[in-house]
A = this chain, B = another copy of it.
Amino acid sequence: MVNTKNKSVIFMKRPDDYPIVGEHFVLQHTDLVAELEEGDILTRNLYLSLDPYLRGRMDGIEGAYVPCFHIGNPINGYGMGEVIQSKNSKYPVGSLVFGVITWELFSLIPPSFNNLIILPNAIRESKVPLSWYLGALGMTGLTAYGSLKLFANLKPGETIFVSAAMGAVGHLVGQMAKRQGLRVVGSAGTDEKVKVLLEELNFDAAFNYKTGNILQSLQKACPEGIDIYYDNVGGEQLEAALEVLKQHGRVVVSGMIDDYNRVTPYHIKNLVLIFQKRIKIEGFVCLDFEKEIWPEFTADVTKWLLEGDIVCKEEVTEGLENAPSVFVNNLKGKNLGKGVIKIADL
């Protein structure tokens, strides 16, 4: 029997533009009173991962995407929790789990939704912060690692351009490409982010896409062109990248955050270059390869992190109640690295 005070972030209304706290999602104080049925588990939630792709799930276009949110239900997304009650032998009480959980203090998770990964007990004593299991060691890191491995076909000496390069995925992509011997160029939306890219993350070049002409900045940073564009943004940066890509260049589309909140997306005017330069563009969603890549991803990235080969930049905000506003700020590019909500200590 469960009978506890809960807090839930409820999805209220589909946004056309940026979601607004209090209008499109609200925090509700609720009572969780329930009897666990066969297969159910109850988690005490510790961390939430604030991922821009969740914005797409607010649109309500079923089929095009991972399941969209339903009005009146809690938001859900990747997060970490501890199993505190269980009627599922796969998830004993005390298990530390990672996967899709609701944005609540406590999640009652039915068996139909239990694709949670049990994290090894050893990470309770991990040398890296627990929150990194939502960033470099979570789906964010998997997105960067898996997409580079499966789609980008990186070769030492090539040049890669990463947009939203100080974002959760972007800053890992850049560092991973750098350690494979590529020249790495990034764009970001503040001078502070550009500084971090150059001084902390070892990017070869970086520019603020808000304070100059994007195409000119990219051309200046890459006088010999680029081989790969790692797209987190779409829009004008994709247009500039097509212009600067070499023949047979590749574009890996990890996201198009610029389009998520626009009623009318930016008008890209040079798509004919796809044909003229024989460009390959490939979109992906990490769900497609998570199982296939997970073991080698965990082994490699843990090693790189512990050896200081790459770092995980993050902004951890305490309190479930802050999840909506921090999420919106992330969509607006205000975060430096991975955005994480800490709900409770382990």
Contacts and interface: CB of A to CB of B under 8 A. Distances in A.
Interface of A: 56, 64-65, 234, 238, 247, 253-256, 259-260, 264-265, 267-285, 288
Contacts of A267: 267
A281 B278 contact: no
In the assembly, how many copies of this chain are there? 2
B288 A283 contact: no
25 contacts: A64-B273, A64-B276, A234-B271, A238-B271, A253-B274, A253-B275, A254-B275, A256-B274, A259-B272, A265-B269, A265-B272, A267-B267, A268-B271, A274-B281, A274-B283, A275-B283, A275-B284, A276-B285, A278-B283, A279-B282, A279-B283, A280-B280, A280-B282, A281-B281, A281-B282
A148 to B, nearest CB: 16
A288 B278 contact: yes
Nearest to A61: B276
Given A265-B269, A269-B264, A285 B275 contact: yes
Contacts of A256: 271-272, 274-275
Contacts of A269: 264-265
A248 to B, nearest CB: 8
Contact of A281 (B56, B264, B277, B280): B280
Contacts of A268: 268, 271
Contacts of A281: 274, 279-282
Contacts of A56: 272, 276
Contacts of A238: 271
A271 B288 contact: no
A144 to B, nearest CB: 15
Contacts of A277: 64, 283
A238 B275 CA distance: 13
A221 to B, nearest CB: 19
Contacts of A278: 282-285, 288
A280 B288 CA distance: 14
B255 A275 contact: yes
A65 B277 CA distance: 7
